[in-house]
């Protein structure tokens, strides 16, 4: 006799599996609750249970769709000569530790916001030109954008990372509590000071081998300008930066070595500023003669917040009022609000933008004002390449995590304690290769405009351990490790992985072919890249200029001088680590 489940309809089988999943979630919460009285453990249990229940709920809403992850394994080693060259490159990266540390510390000290990375770009391009790279500046109409090339012929390997930082995130490195270098100034509260130094170190190690071995290929380094505004990568694509590229290797700071492939995580977004225009009047003598643009902004925001109840669980949307008028006794003639509309796929992002446009028009009608809008940035949901990720993951396993010393762990635990987070210290074990997640179960999250690049060329993002686990992100706390031995060691480990992966792509053409097979036949088979920007849109290059104008003169006093000090910690007179 066949199993009774065989006779159930597909929907009945789905409901049964969802019921079992529900019970597992409830039992997990109950068991953890019974075994501890710790508030943190209870919160963790509730979060885990809710996550399981939410996944079930989404599957139910979608008719039960949602497949298990696709199996994935590291790429086997290549020919012995290739593996020998990879080990040589890793050793050469080790020999450049001091140079790497100086680059990481130097960019940290500049602390520049998106579109204002003038000192950062001047410094990094200078390092590249000194080492034989040809640099093109002012790319795609962005003054701080550039790309640098060395070599000739195929394959062309694009190597990128972001360079901008976060408002009001100034922070003394190595100090495990809030202690800004300059109160209110921007700072590297995301760790973007370390990615391009990582890539330069890796590229120089590979360049040396390419010269000696007479290897064909082109290295193409580029910076993610204004990533925190998702402000440029779509314009880089439009200008042709990746038109000749065979593989794109990106790097982003994290708390562990890692890489993933496929979609099914995070969101894309469109960033839109709505500007309303009304009529000014004396707010006390003749308010009836005014038409308040600020009223329109507030009505739009209220309408959006009511609409949230009826949006998908996956969406993330947020706004700030960028112009609320001039002074209270003048009816605001102009007012603006800036929105991020995030969703998990192109169509839903477009739909969110359309709702925003409708509410803006309605708010203008209610207040007898007019409204215009402009795109300030955009990002496609990311989809990373399976072949390249599997290759990079094999190199991650080969390199392994840095050896953290007691001072590194003390700093990590110090800030974790300060923020009332689990005092887990630093990563000690590499996680699994992430990939093959079903997009149907994606519950949203952050965005990055490397997503656009991932839809025009096979791309992966290397996560490297230059920061501390359990930090909030986009915060002064994330700057604490970014110019310390934690970052220096993490960047060196990441540069080894990046260099080894570049060599794989240069010397194993079957990997490049496999990457494009996945890109053409799986990733883009049913979904093609359509940019959110139009031909009329231009990069918002004046953003953040006023903030840097306010702080730059004071910030210059704290620029790192490697001719006088071994490290930025030494220059600032900081004892490492400084904890409460």
Q: Do 253 and 273 share a domain, yes or no? A: no
Q: What is the pLDDT of residue 5?
A: 29
Residue 195 makes CB contacts below 8 A (sequence gap 6+) with 161, 162, 163, 224, 251, 252, 253
Looking up residue 194, the CATH number of its domain turns out to be 3.40.630.10
pLDDT digits (tens, 9 = 90+) for 293-303: 999 999 999 99
Give the three-state DSSP class for 276.
Answer: strand
Give the three-state DSSP class for 46.
Answer: helix
Q: Give the 3-state secondary structure of 506-573.
A: HHCHHHHHHHHHHHHHHHCCCCCCCCCCCCCCCCCCCCCHHHHHHHHHHHHCCCCCCCCCCCHHHHHC
Please say if the pLDDT value at position 551 is more than 90: yes
> Which residue among 332, 360, 378 closes a domain?
378
Exposed, middle or buried, 94 (CB in 10 Å: 0-12/13-18/19+)?
middle
pLDDT digits (tens, 9 = 90+) for 483-506: 999 999 999 999 999 999 999 999
If one counts the domains in the chain, the total is 3
Q: What is the pLDDT of residue 21?
A: 39
d(CA 397, CA 74): 9
560 inside domain: no
564 inside domain: no
| Mean per-residue pLDDT, 188-213 | 98
Q: What is the pLDDT of residue 445?
A: 93
Please say if the pLDDT value at position 240 is more than 50: yes
Q: Do 144 and 163 share a domain, yes or no? A: yes
pLDDT digits (tens, 9 = 90+) for 327-360: 999 999 999 999 999 999 999 999 999 999 999 9
Please say if the pLDDT value at position 269 is more than 70: yes
Give the three-state DSSP class for 571.
Answer: helix
Q: What is the pLDDT of residue 347?
A: 97
Q: What is the pLDDT of residue 40?
A: 42
Residue 149's DSSP bridge partners are 134, 220
Q: Do 185 and 103 share a domain, yes or no? A: yes
Q: Do 314 and 358 share a domain, yes or no? A: yes
Q: Do 370 and 413 share a domain, yes or no? A: no
State which residues form the domain around 282: 268-378
Q: Do 217 and 91 share a domain, yes or no? A: yes
Residue 273 makes CB contacts below 8 A (sequence gap 6+) with 322, 336, 337, 338, 339, 373, 374, 376
Please say if the pLDDT value at position 255 is more than 70: yes
Higher pLDDT, 200 or 8: 200
Q: What is the pLDDT of residue 8?
A: 31
pLDDT digits (tens, 9 = 90+) for 39-72: 444 444 444 444 444 444 444 333 334 455 667 8
Please say if the pLDDT value at position 213 is more than 80: yes
Q: What is the pLDDT of residue 393?
A: 98
Q: Do 156 and 277 share a domain, yes or no? A: no
579 inside domain: no
Q: What is the pLDDT of residue 31?
A: 40
d(CA 425, CA 83): 33
Looking up residue 299, the CATH number of its domain turns out to be 3.30.70.360
Q: Do 214 and 173 share a domain, yes or no? A: yes
Q: Do 525 and 404 share a domain, yes or no? A: yes
419 inside domain: yes
Helix spans in 368-436 (H): 386-399, 406-418
Residue 317's DSSP bridge partners are 341
pLDDT digits (tens, 9 = 90+) for 416-458: 999 999 999 999 999 999 898 888 889 999 999 999 999 999 9
Q: Do 412 and 512 share a domain, yes or no? A: yes
280 inside domain: yes
569 inside domain: no
71 inside domain: no
> Which residue among 362, 378, 394 closes a domain?
378
| Mean per-residue pLDDT, 281-290 | 98
Over its C-alpha atoms, the chain yields an Rg (Å, rounded) of 25
| Mean per-residue pLDDT, 164-192 | 98
**Contact of 361 with 371, CB cutoff 8 Å:** yes
Q: What is the pLDDT of residue 69?
A: 61
DSSP structural state of residue 497? H
Residue 127 makes CB contacts below 8 A (sequence gap 6+) with 103, 200
> Which residue among 378, 408, 439 closes a domain?
378
pTM (2 decimals)?
0.89
Average pLDDT, the chain: 91
| Mean per-residue pLDDT, 305-312 | 97
Beta strand pairing call for 217-224 and 146-152: antiparallel
Identify the band that residue 464 occupies on the pLDDT scale cut at 50, 70 and 90.
Answer: very high
Q: Do 297 and 195 share a domain, yes or no? A: no
Beta strand pairing call for 316-323 and 146-152: unpaired
Q: Hey, how many other C-beta atoms are within 10 angstroms of the C-beta on 10?
A: 9
Q: What is the pLDDT of residue 431?
A: 94
**Contact of 238 with 539, CB cutoff 8 Å:** no
Q: Do 529 and 501 share a domain, yes or no? A: yes
Q: Is 430 left (phi over 0), alpha (psi -120 to 50) or beta?
A: beta
Q: Which residue has the tokens 């959110």?
A: 532
Structure tokens at 415: 């800030």
How many residues does this entry show for the chain?
A: 580
| Mean per-residue pLDDT, 243-262 | 98
559 inside domain: no
Please say if the pLDDT value at position 10 is more than 50: no
Using alpha carbons, select from 430, 429, 423, 420 the residue that is nearest to residue 409: 423
| Mean per-residue pLDDT, 133-155 | 98
């Amino acid at each position: 006799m066949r199993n009774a489940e065989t006779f159930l309809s597909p929907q009945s089988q789905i409901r049964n599996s969802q019921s079992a999943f529900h019970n597992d979630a409830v039992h997990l919460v109950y068991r953890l609750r019974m075994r501890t009285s710790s508030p943190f453990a209870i919160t963790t249990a509730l979060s885990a249970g809710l996550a399981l229940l939410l996944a079930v709920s989404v599957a139910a809403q979608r008719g039960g769709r949602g497949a298990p992850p696709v199996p994935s394994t590291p790429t086997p080693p290549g020919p012995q000569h290739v593996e020998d060259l990879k080990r040589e490159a890793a050793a050469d990266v080790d020999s450049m530790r001091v140079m790497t540390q100086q680059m990481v510390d130097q960019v940290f000290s500049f602390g520049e916001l998106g579109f204002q990375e003038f000192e950062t770009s001047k410094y990094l391009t200078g390092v590249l030109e000194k080492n034989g790279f040809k640099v093109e500046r002012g790319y795609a109409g962005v003054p701080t954008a550039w790309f640098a090339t060395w070599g000739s012929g195929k394959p062309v390997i694009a190597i990128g990372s972001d360079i901008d930082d976060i408002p009001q995130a100034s922070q003394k490195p190595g100090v495990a509590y809030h202690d800004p270098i300059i109160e209110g100034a921007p700072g590297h509260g995301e760790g973007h000071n370390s990615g391009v130094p990582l890539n330069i170190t890796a590229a120089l190690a590979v360049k040396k081998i390419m010269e000696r071995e007479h290897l064909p290929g082109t290295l193409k380094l580029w910076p993610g300008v204004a990533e925190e505004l998702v402000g440029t990568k779509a314009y880089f694509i439009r200008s042709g930066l990746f038109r000749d590229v065979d593989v794109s290797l990106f790097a982003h700071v994290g708390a562990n070595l890692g890489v993933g492939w496929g979609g099914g995580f995070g969101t894309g977004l469109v960033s839109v500023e709505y500007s309303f225009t009304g009529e000014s009047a004396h707010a006390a003598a003749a308010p009836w003669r005014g038409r308040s643009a600020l009223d329109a902004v507030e009505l739009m925001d209220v309408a959006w917040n009511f609409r949230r109840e009826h949006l998908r669980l996956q969406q993330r949307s947020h706004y700030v009022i960028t112009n609320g008028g001039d002074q209270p006794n003048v009816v605001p003639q102009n007012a603006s609000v800036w929105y991020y509309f995030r969703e998990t796929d192109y169509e839903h992002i477009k739909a969110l933008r359309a709702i925003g446009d409708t509410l803006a028009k309605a708010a203008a009608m209610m207040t007898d004002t007019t409204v215009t809008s402009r795109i300030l940035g955009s990002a496609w949901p990311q989809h990373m390449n399976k072949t390249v990720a599997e290759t990079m993951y094999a190199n991650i396993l080969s390199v392994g995590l840095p050896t953290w010393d007691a001072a590194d762990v003390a700093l990590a635990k110090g800030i974790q304690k300060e923020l009332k987070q689990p005092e887990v210290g630093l990563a000690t074990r590499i996680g699994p290769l992430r990939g093959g997640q079903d997009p149907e179960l994606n519950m949203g999250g952050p965005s990055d405009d490397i997503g656009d690049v991932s839809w025009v060329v096979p791309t992966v993002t290397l996560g490297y351990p230059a920061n501390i686990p359990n930090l909030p992100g986009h915060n002064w706390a994330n700057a604490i490790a970014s110019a310390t031995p934690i970052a220096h060691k993490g960047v060196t480990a990441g540069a080894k992985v990046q260099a080894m992966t570049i060599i794989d792509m240069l010397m194993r053409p079957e990997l490049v072919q496999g990457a494009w097979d996945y890109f053409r036949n799986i990733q883009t088979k049913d979904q093609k890249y359509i940019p959110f920007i139009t031909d009329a849109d231009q990069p918002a290059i004046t953003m953040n200029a006023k903030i840097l104008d306010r702080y730059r003169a004071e910030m210059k006093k704290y620029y790192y001088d490697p001719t006088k000090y071994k490290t930025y910690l030494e220059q600032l007179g900081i004892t490492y680590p400084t904890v409460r």
